[in-house]
Chain A
C-alpha cells in the first residue's frame, strides 16, 4: 500500500469536514456547466475538418461564387432494356423526377440538369438552333430514338448526362446550402419513393452532395444511441466489480460531471460539436470511471482492514493513498491529449484533444472532491467481494496467477512482448493512408449501392475542377487558349480513373460542328476568335445564355473544366493530383493564362493530406509530453521510458490491427494514436507507482515483494480495463463502419496497454532493476515533486485554454440586458453628417454602387434621418426621410422622394425587416445604426469571443415572440459587443426558420470628435450570396445640421 502522506491526510480530513457543502457545490457546478450543453452547436459538415481560411477552401469558395458550382445530389434512372432509357416511359420518368426534385427546398431550380432541362445544338440552314430535348415531351419511341441519336451526336453529354451505353441517365441537382444536404437527400429519396417507377426502370440517388451531407448524420445518429449504451455497460462492469449500489452509482455522477465540464465548456466557448466529438463522450466516460474505480477499490480494501473505523476515517485514509496515482494518471493523460491538440490542424481534432484534456481534469477534480465527500456522508456498505487482507474473488485470483506466472517466466514474457511488438511493426508498415467518404457507409446502404451503381455506368459523380483564368477579358475566344484547354482535357482524360470532362471547349466544338451541317470533321476549335465569339452569340440567340454559366464566366476570362471520376479515394488522388499539377505548371500555365485545381475532390485531397502529417506530429508530441510528465513525476528518465512501454505496445498493436485488418488510416482513425496514449498511460502509471511502493515497503525477493501488486492494483486496473473495453466494445456492434472501427481500435489499445502494463512492467523491473523503482519512497519525496508537477501541468492546461478562448466564465460576465443597455446608451452625437457609399455585390461578384449623403439629428428623443443619393445619375436625387419616434408602439413616418416622379411618396414603415433599398441590411438595421431595439428581444450572455483581435461579449437575442421575429426577419441574432466601445463588431442573424441568414461585420471603427464610429460595414446574405459593403466617410459630428434638412420639402431639393 502507498504510504499516506501526512499532508494529504490533513487535506482530506479538512475536505471531509463539510461533506454536504462540497456535495451541494459539486452538484451546482455540474448543473452550471451542464446548462450550457443544450446550446452546443452541431457542425457535422465535412468542410468543418479544414480551417476556414485555408487557401484551398477559400479558392473553392471563389470558384463556387464565379461559376455557381455546388456539390450535387445525383439521381440516376437506369433501364437495362433494349433501348436503355430511350423509351417514352423512362424519359417521362426523368421529366417527372426533374420537375419534382427542382421544386424541393434547398435545390437550386436554376441549376438542375437532366435530359429534361438540357438543350441540343443542331445546325440549321442559317446557323444553328438550340432546342430542348424535351420539346415536346417524348411520347413515342420515334421521338425517344431521335433523342438518343441527338445525344449520341453530342459528345459532351456522353458519360456525364447519359451513360455511354444509353442504359442510364442522370438528374443532377445542385444544392443551395450544403449544411442541410442531409435533409435534401431525404427529400429526394421521398420524391423517388412516391414516384410510380415503370417496370424495367430503377432509380438511384447518390452524389457528393448526398454523401457528405448524409455521412455526418449517419454517424451521428448511431453514436447518439450507442454512447448511452456504453454508459450502461460500464455501470454493469462497476456493479460486477463492487457489487454495491454506491460502487455502481457514484462513478456515474463523476461521469456526469466530466461530460458536463467538457461539453458544457465547449458550448460556452462556442466550439462546435463535430462528428468525431461523439467519440469524446465515450472516452470521457471511460476516463471518469477509471479514477473512481481505483479510489473505491481502496476504500473497500480499507473497510476490510479496519471494519470499525468511521466512514470518514476510511475515506481519508483511502484518499490519502490514492490521490497520488490518480493525479499522476491525470497529468499523463492530459499530456497525451495535449499532443493531439497541438499536433492536429483540423479544428475537430484539435478541439477533441483540448476538451478531452479538460474532461480529464474535470474527472480528477470531482474524484478529489465530490467522491470523498459522498463517501463520508453516505454510509457505504462493505463490499462482499473485498474480504480478508486481499481481494479474494476470482478476478483477484486470476490476476495473481497471471502476475506470478509472468514474473516466474520473465524471459518468456519479455520474448512474447517483443514478438507482439515485432508483429506490430510489421502491421504498421502495412497501414494504408486512405480515405473515401463513401466507404464509411454500409455496403447495403441505399446510398452506397447507388454510388456503386451510378459510377459503374457513368463517367463518375466525383468532380475535379480545374479553373482556367486569363489576364484579359474575352481571352477565351482565342483559339490558342482553347487548344491549351483542349490539350489539358485530353491529357487528364488519359490518366487512369478519369473518365470524362466537360468544358466550354466541348460546347464550342459542338456548335462549330452544328453550324457546319453537323459534319464530324468540324468537331474542332475554329481558327478564328471572331467565329468563337459568334458561335456564342448564335447560341445566345436561340438558347438560354445562362447555359454556360457553369463553364465560363460572363467576361470569357475564366473557365471551368470539370473532370469526372467514378471514385475519389485518397490514394488515387495522391497519384492523380500531382500529375495534373505538374502538367499545369510545366505545360499549361503562361504569363497570360493559368490553371488552378479546385472542386470537392481537390479540397478532399488537401485535407486528407494533412492527416498524415498531423498524425505523425500529434503522435510524436503526445509521446513526448507523456514521457516528460512521467520523467518529472518519477524524477527519472528511465521511468519515462518504462511508462512508454505499454503505450507503445498498444500503439503497435493498433497499427497491426489496422494493417492486417485493412482499416485505413483516415480521418476518424488518425486520432487513435493520441487516444491510445491518453488511455494506455494510466495502466503504466498505476503499475509503476504501486511497484515502487511495494518494493520500498515490503521485504523478500523481488517476486515476493510484488505479490500484492496483482490482486489489488492489478484487480483495480482490470476493472478499469474492463470498463473501458466493454464500453467501447458496445460501439463494435454499430452498423456504421466508422463507429465499429473506433470501438475495435480502442478495445485493442486498452487491452494491450492493460496486459503490457500488468505483465511487462514488473518483468522489465525485474530484469533491468532501474534505480527509480528501488529508491525509498519517503526519501524520494515523491509527493512533493508530484504535486508541483501536478499544479504546473494543470496550470499549463488552463493557460492553454486561456490562449484559445478567454478566462471569464459566462456567469461572471455582465448581464446581457446591461450590455444592450450600454450599447443603446452609447453616445452618437446630437447630429451628424457623412457620406455613405454602398457597394451591392451579387454572388458572381458583379458590383453596383450607390453614393449617398446622410444626415441625422435628434429632436428631443425623436430621431430624424435623411439620406440623399448623389450617384449614379440614374438614382441621383432620390431622397429618404425617416422620423423615428421614441414611443416603440408608434410606427415611424417615412417618405421617399423619387426624382422620376418628382413626388414625395409616403411609405409604410411597418416592414422593418424588409431590405433597405436593395442592400443586405434591413430598414431596421439601417435605422438603429448599430443599436438594438431592446423591447424586441430576450437577451442572453453567451461568453467571450475574439473578433478582429478585440475581446467581445457574445450576446444572443431571441425575438420575444413569433410576430416580432417575423417583423424583424430574424429568428435569432448573435452580437459580439466590444465592451470597451459598446459596439457590435460582428453580428450573425438567423432567419425565422433557424437557417443562417446574415453576417454583419463592422470594421474600421475609430473615434471621430470623441465618438466611436464604424466606417465600414460588410454584410453577407448567406442565403443569396449577395453582399453589401457600406463605407462611411467625412463623418462630422461637429457642424450643426439644420433642422430644415429634415423637412419633406428639402427632399425635393436634393439636400
Chain B
C-alpha cells in the first residue's frame, strides 16, 4: 500500500503540526522551525544544480512531567529537480518511512516523531528518530544504524541526509556505565540516486558494468520487508573513566548499501540487488591531552560484499569481512581556530582476487575552521583525500550570522581526481552555493 495523500491534506497536516495548539491540551508546547533557501550552481556547465526552499517545523510538548513528544517535519521544494528527477520510487524505504511527493518539485516528510520517557532510571525514546554512533566526522565506521540519502552524494550535512528510522531506543544506567539497547523494525535502506540524477553513481567501485554488446536487464531489488524478522538490533555500552570516553558497540543489522549482483545467463546480464545481514562489533574512544583531543572508532563487520572484475565470478561480488577504523585529532590551541585531521582505513580480511577496490583503502581528512567577529562569521574548509586513488573532495563554506535568527551561507564543493574514483566520478559536479536560513 502506498500513501499518496493529496496536496491539500499534506499541507494541511504540516500547517496543523506548526499551528499553535491550545495550551490546555499539551504542557510546555514549543513550536519553532527553520526555513532555508539554497541555490547551487554547477561550475562545469554553469547551470543551476538545485534551487531549494526547505521548511523544517519542529513541535515539542509534554504529555506528562516525564514524557515529552517531538515532531519534526520537512517540506522541501526544488525548482530544478535534477537531484532526484521526477518522483523517486522510494523503493529503498519502508512504507511508513517514505516521503510524500507532491508533484516532482515538492516533497513532504515526517522527519522525526518520537516520544521520550523514563521508566525508573531508564530513558526510552520511541518513534522515528536518528541514532548516531561513532566519533568520526564525515566518515562512517559505526554510524551505520540510520541509512543515508545520497541524492547529493555526501555533500549535505549528515543531519539532513541521514534517514530517520522508526525505532525503540533505551538507555539504561548500569552502575557507572550506560547500556543502550536499540531495536529497529524499519526496513529502510540507503537511497542511491537513480541513473540520470545529478549525483548518480558511475564509479566501477560501486556500479557494475557489462562487456559491450551484452544486453543488461535490471531486476527489482529484493528488499527485506518483514518488520519483525528483518529488523535490526544493536547495543552499546559506554563509560567515562579516567578521563577516557569509551564505548563498545554491537549491531546485528542489514547493511544499508545493496549488494549489486550481476547474473550472467544466455539472455545476457541481469542486475540484481539485495541486502545482506552483517554483524558489526566495534568501539570508540576519546580523550583530551592539553590542546589536543584524540578520538577514534574501530569496527569489524562480517559478511560484506565487494565488486570484483573477475569475469569468471558467478555474480560479480565477493564476500569479505571488513576491519575499519578512524583515528582523529582535533587541535583548538589557537584562539578562534579549530583544526582537525583524521585517517581512515578499511582493511578486508582475506582480500579475494579480482577485487575492484584495494584490499586496504586509506582516506585522510583535514578540517580547518576559523570563527570571526565573536563567532558571527564561520569559515571552514574540509578536505577528504583518498590515498589509494588520489581523488578527493574539497568543501569550503562561509556562514554569517546576520541576525540572531538569520544565517547567510556560501559554499563551494570541488571534486578532483580520476573519473573512476569514488570522489572523482563527480568531477563534473563541482558547485558553488549560496543560501539563507531563517529560524523562528
Interface residues of A (CB under 8 A from B): 840, 842, 846-850, 871-874, 876, 891, 893-894, 899-903, 905-911, 913-915, 917-920, 1024, 1026, 1028, 1044, 1047-1049, 1053
Q: Which residue of B lies closest to A874 (CB)?
A: B439
CA A907 to CA B340, docked complex, whole Å: 12
1/0 contact string of B273-293 vs chain A (CB within 8 Å): 000000000000011101111
Residues of B that sit less than 8 Å from A by CB: 32-34, 58, 116, 121, 123, 130, 132, 134-135, 137, 157-159, 162, 171, 173, 178, 238, 240, 243, 245, 286-288, 290-293, 295, 330, 332-333, 335-336, 371, 373-376, 401, 403-405, 407, 437, 439-440
The answer on a CB contact under 8 Å between B405 and A906 is: no
Measured in the bound complex, the distance between the Cα atoms of B245 and A168 in whole Å is 67
Q: Residues of A contacting B293 with CB < 8 Å?
A: 905-908
Q: List, in ascending order, chain A residues with CB within 8 A of B290's CB.
A: 891, 908, 910
Q: Are B404 and A847 in contact (CB under 8 A)?
A: yes
Q: Are B376 and A906 in contact (CB under 8 A)?
A: no
Pick from B157, B178, B336, B376 the residue with the most CB of A within 10 Å: B376
Which chain B residues border A874 with CB–CB below 8 Å? 34, 401, 405, 407, 437, 439
List 3 tightest A-B contacts by C-beta distance, closest first. A918-B375, A873-B439, A902-B132
Q: Quick check: A1047 and B401 within 8 Å, CB to CB?
A: no
Complex interface: chain A residues within 8 A of B33 (CB): 873
B243 to A, closest residue via Cβ: A893
A1028 contact set on B, CB distance < 8 A: 374
The interface residues of chain A lying within 8 Å CB-to-CB of B401 are 848, 874
Closest Cβ neighbor of A918 among chain B residues: B375
A911–B245 touching, CB < 8 Å: no
New A-B pairs, 7, CB < 8 Å, besides A848-B376, A1044-B173: A871-B32, A873-B405, A902-B159, A913-B335, A914-B335, A919-B374, A1024-B374
Closest to B374 in A: A918
Nearest residue (CB) in A for B288 is A908
Q: Which residues of A contact B32 (CB under 8 A)?
A: 871, 873, 876
Q: Which residue of A lies closest to B407 (CB)?
A: A874
Pick the residue among B58, B288, B404 that contacts A893 (CB under 8 A): B288
Please tell me which one of the listed residues B34, B123, B439 contacts residue A1053 in the complex, with CB atoms under 8 A apart: B123
* B376–A1049 touching, CB < 8 Å: no
Give A272 to B171 CA distance when docked, in angstroms: 62
Q: How far is the CA of A919 from the CA of B286 in the complex (A)?
A: 27
Residues of A within 8 A of B157 (CB): 900-901
- When the two chains form their complex, are residues A1048 and B374 in contact, meaning their CB atoms are under 8 A apart? no
Q: Is the CB of A849 within 8 A of B404?
A: yes
Expressed in whole angstroms, the Cα–Cα distance for A162 and B335 within the complex equals 41
B31 to chain A, nearest CB (A): 10
Query: CA separation between A914 and B338, bound complex, in Å?
Result: 12
* Residues of the A chain whose Cβ atoms lie less than 8 Å from the Cβ of B439: 872-874, 876
- Shortest distance between the CB of B136 and any CB in chain A (Å): 9
Q: How far apart are B37's CB and chain A's nearest CB, in angstroms?
A: 14
Cα distance A893–B286 in the bound complex, in angstroms: 11
- The smallest C-beta distance from B435 to any residue of chain A, in angstroms, reads 12
Cross-chain contact B404 with A848 (CB below 8 angstroms): yes
B34 CB contacts on chain A under 8 angstroms: 873-874
A746 to chain B, nearest CB (A): 52
Which residues from A are CB-within-8-Å of B376?
Answer: 840, 842, 848, 918
Q: Which residue of A lies closest to B338 (CB)?
A: A907
Q: Which residue from chain A places its CB closest to the CB of B36 in the assembled complex?
A: A874
B405 touches A872 (CB 8 A): yes
Structural contact, B374 and A908, CB atoms closer than 8 A? no
Bound complex: CA of A335 vs CA of B407, how far in Å? 64
| CB–CB B335/A911 < 8 A | yes
Alpha-carbon distance A1047/B173, docked complex (angstroms): 10
Can you list 24 A-B contacts with CB-CB less than 8 angstroms, sorted by A residue number? A842-B373, A842-B374, A848-B376, A848-B401, A871-B32, A873-B34, A873-B58, A873-B440, A874-B405, A901-B137, A901-B159, A902-B158, A903-B132, A903-B134, A906-B287, A907-B288, A908-B330, A908-B332, A908-B333, A909-B288, A914-B332, A914-B335, A918-B371, A918-B376
B440 to chain A: closest residue by CB: A873
Instruction: Knowing A847-B404, A908-B330, say if A840 contacts B286 (CB, 8 Å).
Output: no
Compute how far the CA of A482 lies from the CA of B70 in the bound complex, rounded to whole angstroms: 53
The minimal Cβ–Cβ distance linking B137 to chain A, given in whole angstroms, is 7
Given A901-B158, A908-B290, A911-B291, A1048–B135 Cβ distance below 8 Å? no
CB-nearest residue of chain B to A841 = B374
Closest B residue to A894 by CB, please name it.
B288
Label chain A's interface by main secondary structure.
Answer: loop
Contact: B295 with A906, CB < 8 Å? yes
The residues of B that contact A914 with a CB separation of less than 8 Å are 332, 335-336
CB-defined contacts of B132 to chain A, threshold 8 Å: 901-903
Residue among B116, B137, B401 with max Cβ neighbours from chain A (10 Å): B401
- Cα distance A364–B171 when bound, in Å? 81
Tell me the bound Cα distance from A876 to B31 in angstroms: 12
Chain A neighbourhood of B403, CB < 8 A:
846, 848
Contacts of A891 in B (CB 8 A): 288, 290
- A1047→B287 contact, CB < 8 A: no
In the bound assembly, the distance between CA atoms of A729 and B405 in angstroms comes to 68
Say whether A910 contacts B291, CB under 8 Å.
yes
* Residues in chain B near residue A893, CB distance under 8 A: 240, 243, 288
Cβ–Cβ contact A917 & B123, under 8 A:
no
**In the complex, what residues of A have CB within 8 A of residue B288's CB?**
891, 893-894, 906-910
Chain A residues, Cβ within 8 Å of B330: 905, 907-908
**B374 lies within 8 A of A840 (CB):** yes
Most buried by B among A842, A849, A873, A915: A873
In the assembled complex, the Cα of A919 lies from the Cα of B158 at a distance in Å of 28
Please determine whether A908 and B292 come into contact, CB atoms closer than 8 angstroms. yes
- Which residues does chain B contribute within 8 Å of A840, judged by CB atoms? 374, 376
B365 → chain A closest CB, angstroms? 14
| Interchain nearest-CB distance for B176 vs A (Å) | 10
Given contacts A874-B34, A874-B407, A899-B159, contact A911 B333 (CB under 8 A): yes
- A848–B406 Cα distance when bound, in Å, is 10
Across the interface, do A906 and B159 meet the contact criterion of CB distance under 8 Å?
A: no
- With contacts A848-B376, A893-B243, A1049-B171 taken as known, whether A906 is within 8 angstroms of B371 at the C-beta atoms is no
Q: State A910–B332 Cα separation when bound (angstroms).
A: 9
> CB-CB < 8 A to A900: which residues of B?
157, 159
Instruction: Tell me the nearest residue of chain A to B240, going by C-beta.
Output: A1048
Q: How far is it, in angstroms, between the C-alpha of A74 and the C-alpha of B440 when the chains are bound? A: 47
Q: How far, in whole Å, are A502 and B32 apart by their CA atoms in the complex?
A: 46
Q: Is the CB of A1049 within 8 A of B374?
A: no
**Residue ID in chain A nearest B162 by CB atoms:** A902
**Complex-state Cα separation, A840 to B403, whole angstroms:** 10
Complex Cα distance A917/B375, Å? Answer: 7
In angstroms, Cα B157 to Cα A755, docked, is 91
Contact for A1049 among B130, B158, B178, CB less than 8 A: B178
In the assembled complex, the Cα of A903 lies from the Cα of B293 at a distance in Å of 15
Is B121's CB under 8 angstroms from A906's CB?
Answer: no
What is the chain A residue whose CB lies nearest that of B32?
A: A873
Residue of A nearest to B146 (CB): A902
> How far is the CB of A115 from the nearest CB of chain B, in Å?
29
- Per the bound structure, the CA–CA distance linking A1053 and B371 in Å amounts to 27
A873 to B440, CA, bound (A): 6
Q: What is the bound-complex CA distance between A910 and B376, given in angstroms?
A: 23
Complex Cα spacing A902 to B146, Å: 12
The one of A871, A920, A1047 that contacts B178, using a Cβ cutoff of 8 Å: A1047
Q: How far is the CA of A1028 from the CA of B373 in the complex (A)?
A: 12
Contacts of A850 in B (CB 8 A): 404
Task: Specify the chain A residue showing the minimal Cβ separation from B116.
Answer: A1053
A842 to B58, CA, bound (A): 30
In angstroms, Cα B376 to Cα A850, docked, is 12
* Min C-beta distance of B178 to chain A, whole Å: 6
Taking CB atoms, residues of chain B closer than 8 Å to A910 are 288, 290-291, 333
Smallest CB-CB separation from A900: which chain B residue? B159
Looking at the assembled complex, report how far the CB atom of A188 sits from the nearest CB atom of chain B, in whole angstroms: 27
Query: A545 CB to closest chain B CB, in angstroms?
Result: 13
**CB closest residue in chain B, given A1021:** B374
The complex places the Cα of A901 from the Cα of B367 at a distance, in Å, of 15
Q: Which of A871, A876, A1026 touches B374 (beta carbons < 8 Å)?
A: A1026
